[in-house]
A and B are shown apart, each in its own frame.
Chain A
Amino acid sequence: MLVFTLRRLLVAIPTLLVISLVIFLLVDFAPGSPMSEIPLTVPPDVRQKMIAALGADQPVLVRYVLWLRQFFWVEPATLFDGIFGTHLAGNEQRILSWQSRSPVFSIIGQRMPQTLTVIGTAYLVGILIALPIGIYSAYRQYSWFDQLGTLFAMIGFSVPTFFSGTLFIIVFAVWFGWFPTKYDTTLHVTDWASFLKQLKQMAMPVMTLGLANAATISRYMRSSMLENMGQDYVRTARAKGMTERTVVLKHVLRNSLIPVVTVIALGIPSIFGGAIITENLFGVNGIGAALIGAIHANDLPMVQTLAFIFAVLIVTFNLIADVLYGFLDPRIRYD
């Protein structure tokens, strides 16, 4: 297993290099200049100096290599320095946002917590709702509960988040006035009252995304359970006199979870990616909102860096899913 993991990690390196090059070049082709946010009154020679200061006048390949070096060395070193008080990074240039002139990773560091609390909670809530629904729907296939579960999943699948989100706002914020319409990013949880406030403002975005997540995962869970329910080993467990509880929640569930856990792991990068629509709709100032803002402002370094971070996460969680699979299924041995 260890050998397998190391080998996969080694393979991941060239994969990521290729992805990084593609991302960098594709984004670089986009029209736009680091000066697009600078007033036209700034004289051309000053402009030129500003561009040179950002390193944006270099040939594309030089910029690519510099960016890679910043991504893999300067930024981690800066992070390390920040934590341990060392001086590894020295005075090296970090990746700078063209829009705000501040380091891209500082912006990500500010945005990430919002995204992780809101989108992460939504994912977790989705899983916690989906698993019991999937399990029970399969156990009582075609019962009214299963039909209801199917309906719920269909709605979750087919209703886009911009619609369900807006609906929630109208119903729960406008009509009932239970929750605020806008997410307040500046809120800090310090006591019980502010915690309640945080819960309230999270409720609607979490519901919106949680519904969509739960729909997908509950279907996976259900079909995986159904597939296993008809297996011979289930009959064996019954023939041994095991209770239905043991049969379903131990024998069937343990087998059914293998593919579901993999699907869940593969979905985790999307949490970090944020949910662009939901974040915008509720004013959650997270990664998704940062990406949209950067695209509008032609902030190429920001877009390149975010896109590449997602790529790294996707590759990483693919690897994690594979390793988990081997961990959960004793028949699979990677050696």
Chain B
Amino acid sequence: MPDGGDAVLDVRGLKTVFRTRGGEVHAVNSVSFHLKKGELLGVVGESGSGKSVTMMSLIGLLPSPPADVRAGTVMLGNRDLLKISPDELRDVRGAKIGFVFQDPMTSLNPVFTVGSQIMEPLIRHLGLTKDQARSRAIDLLELVGISDAANRLQSFPHQYSGGMRQRVMIAIALSCDPDVLIADEPTTALDVTIQAQILELVKGLRQKLGMAIIWITHDLGVIAGIADRVMVMYGGQVVEQAPVKELFAHPQHPYTRALLKTIPSLTGTRAARLQVIEGQPPIMMAEPASCPFCDRCAHVFDRCRRENPVRRGIDTRPVGYGHDVACHWTPEAAVA
């Protein structure tokens, strides 16, 4: 694909810090990525790597204080979401960008009916009347695979199972036909069979509706199944980014390689122990002057501690559009 003139979402140099009593926590450091029309971008990284904070920064969902989105541009079409007014941003949230959160058990308001919660954004963004919104809510529930939708609209969230609630969350996120759907670990809280059902649902919806999706997960197995491209995050920055097949075939960053080794293999005959990455992810109290992964890296050398590596392309395409990595070390150099 050409150089992303067709990106629906283009994020550059995003920085988010939290002001805490102990000082500033640099949760997101110069994160850049884009999302093409209809594309599914997988985002992986262990807990605390800044995945959620990055995505919530885009649409102003972080409470401020303590959060401060300090730098960057977030272009949605030709508008910079970090520059527009809070009112304009509210018109974007839920209309142009839908968000699905991790825990469906707590993400719906317990005292309102499911129907009213689906209808809210329809009335707010699309200006529908109550009756119009209700009939569209029925369509949406059917779209996400909930049968007897007209009656289920009357139910309260606690009368739904976890999987069904996540379907409702997806229905809400998709209600106004957004350009982008951000799903922040939408299946982590669900059991395995329900996870698979939700994945199938999203795959189907994507074909039907054609929105671009950002899918955050810990599970590289899920990524392999649905993503077009993968972005690996560590310590609040993007450490590697590549088309999904490329990443699985030629992982560059030691962290990515370690992550890939942690996937339990179903086909493998070996009973080898699941590998874990030793050590803890860092909490950044300052903008990192070294590679954030250096303390846990098997290939660390002195440059890693002096200089935080910038992303470099490892094929001919520009950074962000082909395969790139933020690492001083190269696997080839190790072989040579």
Q: Which residues from chain A sit less than 8 Å from chain B, CB to CB? A: 231-233, 235-243, 246, 251, 254-255, 258, 328-331
| A155 CB, nearest partner CB in chain B, Å | 29
Chain A residues within 8 Å of B120, by CB: 237, 240, 242, 246
Chain B 97-112, CB-CB to A under 8 Å as 1, else 0, gives 0110101001111111
Chain A residues within 8 Å of B101, by CB: 232, 235-236, 239
Q: Which of B5-13, B40-48, B85-93, B240-248 contacts A (4 or more CB under 8 A)?
A: B85-93
Assuming A235-B61, A254-B112, A329-B111, is B121 touching A240 (CB within 8 A)?
A: yes
Does B33 have its Cβ within 8 Å of any Cβ on chain A? no
Chain B residues within 8 Å of A258, by CB: 111
Q: Which one of A236, A239, A241 contacts B125 once the chains associate, using CB atoms below 8 Å?
A: A241
Query: Please, how many angstroms separate the alpha-carbon atoms of A258 and B109 in the complex?
Result: 14
Query: Please, how many angstroms separate the alpha-carbon atoms of A292 and B311 in the complex?
Result: 83
Chain A residues within 8 Å of B103, by CB: 232
Q: Are A251 and B109 touching (Cβ within 8 A)?
A: yes
Does B329 have its Cβ within 8 Å of any Cβ on chain A? no
Work out how many contacts link A and B, with CB atoms closer than 8 A: 75
| A117 CB, nearest partner CB in chain B, Å | 35
Does B94 have its Cβ within 8 Å of any Cβ on chain A? yes
Question: A257 — nearest CB in chain B belongs to which residue?
Answer: B111
Q: Are A240 and B107 touching (Cβ within 8 A)?
A: no
Q: Which one of B61, B106, B111, B124 contacts A239 once the chains associate, using CB atoms below 8 Å?
A: B61
Taking A241-B90, A241-B95, A251-B109 as known contacts, 6 extra A-B pairs with beta carbons closer than 8 A to each other, sorted by chain A number, are: A233-B106, A233-B107, A236-B101, A238-B93, A258-B111, A329-B110
Question: A251 — nearest CB in chain B belongs to which residue?
Answer: B109
Give 6 A-B contacts (CB < 8 Å), ordered by A residue: A233-B108, A235-B61, A241-B94, A328-B111, A329-B110, A331-B156
Chain A residues within 8 Å of B82, by CB: none
Q: Which of B106, B111, B124 has the most CB of A within 10 A?
A: B111
Query: Please, how many angstroms separate the alpha-carbon atoms of A233 and B104 in the complex?
Result: 9
Does B169 have its Cβ within 8 Å of any Cβ on chain A? yes
Question: A239 — nearest CB in chain B belongs to which residue?
Answer: B99
Q: Are A255 and B124 touching (Cβ within 8 A)?
A: no
| B216 CB, nearest partner CB in chain A, Å | 14
Does B59 have its Cβ within 8 Å of any Cβ on chain A? yes
- In the A-B complex, the 6 residue pairs with the smallest Cβ-Cβ separation, listed nearest first, are A241-B94, A240-B94, A241-B93, A232-B106, A239-B99, A233-B109
Q: Which of B98, B120, B125 has the most CB of A within 10 A?
A: B120
Q: Are A243 and B94 touching (Cβ within 8 A)?
A: no
Does B305 have its Cβ within 8 Å of any Cβ on chain A? no
Query: Please, how many angstroms separate the alpha-carbon atoms of A231 and B108 in the complex?
Result: 10
Q: Which one of B111, B124, B125, B173 contacts A330 once the chains associate, using CB atoms below 8 Å?
A: B111
Q: Are B94 and A239 touching (Cβ within 8 A)?
A: yes
Q: Are A241 and B106 touching (Cβ within 8 A)?
A: no
Chain A residues within 8 Å of B121, by CB: 240-242
Chain A residues within 8 Å of B94, by CB: 239-242
Does B158 have its Cβ within 8 Å of any Cβ on chain A? yes
Assuming A233-B106, A236-B107, is B169 touching A241 (CB within 8 A)?
A: no
Does B172 have its Cβ within 8 Å of any Cβ on chain A? yes
Query: Please, how many angstroms separate the alpha-carbon atoms of A258 and B156 in the complex?
Result: 16
Query: Please, how many angstroms separate the alpha-carbon atoms of A251 and B112 in the complex?
Result: 8
Query: Please, how many angstroms separate the alpha-carbon atoms of A330 and B124 in the complex?
Result: 25
Chain A residues within 8 Å of B124, by CB: 240-243, 246
Question: B102 — nearest CB in chain A belongs to which residue?
Answer: A232
Question: B92 — nearest CB in chain A belongs to which residue?
Answer: A241
Chain A residues within 8 Å of B90, by CB: 241-243
Chain B residues within 8 Å of A255, by CB: 109-111
Q: Which of A239, A258, A330, A331 has the most CB of B within 10 A?
A: A239
Query: Please, how many angstroms separate the alpha-carbon atoms of A211 and B104 in the complex?
Result: 42
Query: Please, how many angstroms separate the alpha-carbon atoms of A251 and B91 in the complex?
Result: 18
Question: A233 — nearest CB in chain B belongs to which residue?
Answer: B109
Chain B residues within 8 Å of A242, by CB: 90, 94, 120-121, 124
Q: Are A330 and B169 touching (Cβ within 8 A)?
A: no
Query: Please, how many angstroms separate the alpha-carbon atoms of A222 and B2 in the complex?
Result: 55
Question: B97 — nearest CB in chain A belongs to which residue?
Answer: A239
Q: Are A331 and B158 touching (Cβ within 8 A)?
A: yes
Query: Please, how many angstroms separate the alpha-carbon atoms of A243 and B172 in the complex?
Result: 16
Chain A residues within 8 Å of B111, by CB: 254-255, 258, 328-330
Question: B169 — nearest CB in chain A belongs to which residue?
Answer: A236
Assuming A241-B124, A241-B125, A242-B124, is B109 touching A236 (CB within 8 A)?
A: yes
Q: Are B125 and A233 touching (Cβ within 8 A)?
A: no
Question: A238 — nearest CB in chain B belongs to which residue?
Answer: B61
| B297 CB, nearest partner CB in chain A, Å | 35
Q: Are B158 and A236 touching (Cβ within 8 A)?
A: no
Query: Please, how many angstroms separate the alpha-carbon atoms of A242 and B230 in the complex?
Result: 31
Q: Which of B91, B99, B107, B124 has the most CB of A within 10 A?
A: B107
Chain A residues within 8 Å of B99, by CB: 236, 239
Question: A331 — nearest CB in chain B belongs to which residue?
Answer: B158
Chain A residues within 8 Å of B172, by CB: 236, 240
Q: Are B93 and A239 touching (Cβ within 8 A)?
A: yes
Query: Please, how many angstroms separate the alpha-carbon atoms of A243 and B94 in the complex?
Result: 12
Query: Please, how many angstroms separate the alpha-carbon atoms of A331 and B109 in the complex?
Result: 11
Query: Please, how many angstroms separate the alpha-carbon atoms of A73 and B101 in the complex?
Result: 61
Chain A residues within 8 Å of B109, by CB: 233, 236-237, 251, 254-255
Assuming A239-B59, A240-B124, A242-B124, is B110 touching A330 (CB within 8 A)?
A: yes
Chain B residues within 8 Å of A330, by CB: 110-111, 156, 158
Chain B residues within 8 Å of A240, by CB: 93-94, 120-121, 124, 172
Chain B residues within 8 Å of A232, by CB: 101, 103, 106-107
Q: Are B93 and A231 touching (Cβ within 8 A)?
A: no
Chain B residues within 8 Å of A238, by CB: 61, 93
Query: Please, how many angstroms separate the alpha-carbon atoms of A34 and B124 in the complex?
Result: 72
Chain A residues within 8 Å of B110, by CB: 233, 255, 329-331
